[in-house]
Amino acid sequence: MRNRVIIGGQWGDEGKGKIVDALSRDVDWVLRYQGGANAGHTIHIGPDKHVLHLIPSGILHDGVRCLLGGGMVVDPWALRDEMIGLEERGFHIRDRLFVSAGAALLMPYHMRMDELREAKLGRHGIGTTGRGIGPAYLDKVQRTGLRMGDLLLPAERLERKVIEKILSANEVLSNTYQAEPMPARVLAEELVVLAQLLAPMIVDAHHLLAGVRAGRESALFEGAQGTMLDVDHGTFPYVTSSNTTVGGALTGTGLPPGALGDIQGIFKAYCTRVGNGPFPTELLGEPGDRLREAGGEFGATTGRARRCGWFDAVAARFSVEINGMNGVIITKLDVLDTAEVVPVAVAYELDGATVDLYPTLGEALPRCRPVYREFPGWVQPLNGCRSIGELPEAARRYLDFLQQVLGVPIVGVSVGRDRTQMIWTPDGVSG
């Protein structure tokens, strides 16, 4: 099977977990390359619901090996709990799950700093998940943080190193936030115990992935969050702290560009966003509430209600271009089953002018107002469809327009929550 990179094309929560689960059964490796437990990838298998925050979605398939790459920030307490949860459900994962020694270690003081910073900013906050992602990445770029490889140190040396880091963090908590210190020795002792559990899976990822690099083994790269949250290319400062775009797959795994294969973006048939930041097609009031309820748009990680709006083709084209996508997958098309009219934003009104290019400079995006093209709804359920030909004509026309405006083929369409409710269209859709 050809390698693939799966990238969120919008503001995250596009349904990447389901798609990775569906595609990973035929690969040797599934590789997470950025982010941390702020991700919430949900997979429905029959009546069972699985939510994965750190572990790649391919873990649900026997024989598939999974790696938490060096571009991630890993909370070892959360990783332990996620492992236990999977094992209690009957999944055998210990010999298939690996963690790069270069991944940053996310500590409890990172979460505390995250919460305190958001509280201090008040309504001007970013709207983070509170999982400590930003502070952990800050320690990484400052070259002061711990890494997963540190868990391989002898117990006494590890404990001393952790206590030193916690005491340093306590100074920040006290001086910057006037907060209570973290219990350094208690946390260090807990981490020493966790190290015994996690040490067997901490690896030199460069050598582990030699088969992928040589083309002997196949890999699926699993992105977290979405393109519009990329720290360099997203709606800064309302972004995450990592590269969610295709470049993150390279730096987060250490694999070369030739190993990437197909680059495929996941887009909802509408848009959602969690937290603060510009969102041109956002629906306020009752229309937004209806779409939220229809799509079950509440965060898998935080439970927060997601902001909802219509499909933004201007932002989506930008996402396709910046990632070099050669295919897209549309998810949650079935959520629009009851809509009598389905609008798509094809341009923006910006300072009296109509623009169809995504504005990346300054603070232009908050001033943009969507220019819509409306499509008739299909007003009938899609969850039983398994081919493009089975979809109602109105749904096919909607997909055909999205394919035209994005400029790349739609290679798959999700029409329900379950892993089986998919339509695969490797050659694209036609109206």
Residues that are catalytic? 13, 41
**Cβ neighbours of residue 175 under 8 Å, at least 6 residues apart?**
none
Residues 344, 372: contact at Cβ < 8 Å?
A: yes
Q: How far is CA 333 from the centre of its chain?
A: 19
Instruction: For residue 256, say if its preceding peptide bond is cis, omega within 30 degrees of 0.
Output: no
Q: Quote the CA–CA distance of 270 and 272 in Å, as a whole number.
A: 7
Residues 419, 44: contact at Cβ < 8 Å?
A: yes
Buried b (16+ CB within 10 A) or exposed e, 238-252: bbbbbbbbbbbbbeb
Q: Quote the CA–CA distance of 277 and 237 in Å, as a whole number.
A: 8
Please state, in angstroms and as integers, the Cα–Cα distance from residue 162 to each residue in 107, 147, 150, 173, 192, following that order. 10, 11, 9, 16, 9
Torsion of CA 111, 116, 118, 120, to 10 degrees: -170
Please state, in angstroms and as integers, the Cα–Cα distance from residue 305 to each residue in 131, 297, 430, following that order. 17, 6, 34
Q: How many CB atoms lie within 10 A of CB 383?
A: 13
Q: Quote the CA–CA distance of 354 and 195 in Å, as a whole number.
A: 57
